[in-house]
Amino acid sequence: MRPAPTVLHLDMDAFFAAAEQAAKPSLRGKPVVVGGLGPRGVVATASYEARRFGIHSAMPMAQARRLAPNAAYLVPRFALYRTVSEQVMELLGRLSPLVEPLSLDEAFVDLEAGGSAADAASARATGERLRRDIRAVTGLTGSVGLAGSKMLAKIASEQAKPDGLVLIEPGTERELLGPMTVRTLPGVGPATGEHLRRAGMTTIADLTEAGEDELVRLVGKAHGTSLYRMASGHDDRPVVAERETKSVSVEDTFDVDLHDRVRVRTEVERLAERCVRRLRESGHSGRTIVLKVRRYDFSTLTRSETLRGPTDDPGVVREAAGRLLESLDTTGGVRLLGVGVTGLTDYTQEDLFAQAAADAEAAGATGAVDEPDPVVVRGEPEPRSDTDAVAVAVAEEVAERHWPAGHDVRHAEFGAGWVQGSGVGRVTVRFEEPTSAVPGRVRTFRTDDPDLELSEPLPLVAVPPDEEPGPRAPV
């Protein structure tokens, strides 16, 4: 534990929904829900106005519509969110060389490593300055937590929401943590929480009173020891600037179960192509191809095949995914498909070409190339239902909609606007920009109107290129 609160945790407030409100003057102050809009869509983010109706992340979109039928329901615009995230991360990089991003809208910062803070007063001043800079550059708000450890800094930022700052003074950790629920601690999910509840432990104070030996008896040595240390306020995990990418994957949930085997194969090949694009964008190659199939009855099957060497060849990944599909029974229908690549390396293209040549030479010498045996993986845990996991599940819906609700368009006569909705050959557009003083006018066009086209997102805030908010961290 540090003697000063120099670990900062930033969490942007209702990030996706807030970005949409900033981009669309007519939606400011109104309930906004971002997510998949199909029958099986889920909520990625809800604005604070929408949360008053009980809407939250990972909720089925159909349920959200019942709770708030008059809210604005929009498809995610990840191009905009990534741009804003880069602006925020650049501001964090000015504070310290040690920035650990957790997602597009969340990160830890080691202020001590950057010389940005040495005590509580300087840490608070840095945190307040960061919040001002984020608002000036992006037009959005973020909540900041400051403490002597990552766990406590994250707890502090949760308490600061929305648009606030909470600093936990070193030495006050146990007093602060005591009355909180055990689910507050990292690694305590629903199953562990219920197990502890049955043992009579519902608050963090209950854990410290039970003692380390009792926790080890209940949940095992590694988990029990870690749980006791965290309950006592101890967390010595460092802020890590670069987190290693372990896998790259894409998946789609379908509005209607797929029964046609040819259609299923086509979708798997399409997912394999998208997965390889992401793999190349991340600068990696991978050895293990993974296929995920969720059937009509919600049972999930996962199969994997490990290749002789790493690849980023779309043909290789596509064929491997196709072979894995042949080993699965899709009778009854498929509601979700996913393709992923694991066992990542940062091999260059030259390395891969050399390997391919070596394989070809070996094949010529022996007359055959051995096929790898598929490795069957069962019981793979589902991804977390946090903003990132939900976003991955709904993001690809955009590609299937010609006029996605909420996305940017430009008309030859009326200029920039965004899609309010579309159907029966018509698309309704509201013409306004982030800097518009009042809500814009609404017009309806044919979906094939040659003067209307999808466009790139507009900046939320215009910042002069020579303006640099906040001091840079010393190098």
| Structure tokens belonging to residue 433 | 């920009």
Tokens standing for residue 324: 């894995």
CA-only gyration radius of the chain, Å = 25
Tokens of 309: 């060497």
- For 11, left (φ over 0), alpha (ψ -120 to 50), or beta? beta
Q: Could you tell me the end-to-end alpha-carbon distance of the chain, in angstroms, rounded to an integer?
A: 25
Closest Cα to residue 320, out of 248, 369, 374? 374
Reading the block at residue 348, the tokens are 């260059």
Are the CB atoms for 30 and 72 separated by under 8 Å? Answer: yes
**Pairing relation of β-strands 441-446 and 426-431?**
antiparallel
125, 113 contact by CB (below 8 A):
no
Asked if residue 152 lies in contact with residue 166, where contact means CB atoms within 8 angstroms, the answer is: no
Nearest-10 crossing angle of helices 78-95, 120-138: 150
Is residue 58 classed exposed, middle or buried when 0-12, 13-18 and 19+ CB atoms within 10 A define those classes?
middle
Cis peptide before 162 (omega within 30 of 0): yes
**Is 400 one of the catalytic residues?**
no
3-state secondary structure 287-303: EEEEEEEEECCCCEEEE
With tokens 């299937």, the residue in question is 400
The secondary element (H helix, E strand) that includes residue 39 is: none
- In the three-class reduction of DSSP (H, G, I as helix; E, B as strand; rest coil), residue 40 is classed as coil
Task: Choose the catalytic residue: 49, 100, 106, 267.
Answer: 106
β-bridge mates for residue 100, sequence order: 108
Contact indicator for 113, 98 with CB cutoff of 8 Å: yes
Q: Are 127 and 146 in contact (CB under 8 A)?
A: yes
CA distance 93 to 114: 9
CB atoms within 10 A of CB 257: 15
Residues marked as catalytic: 106
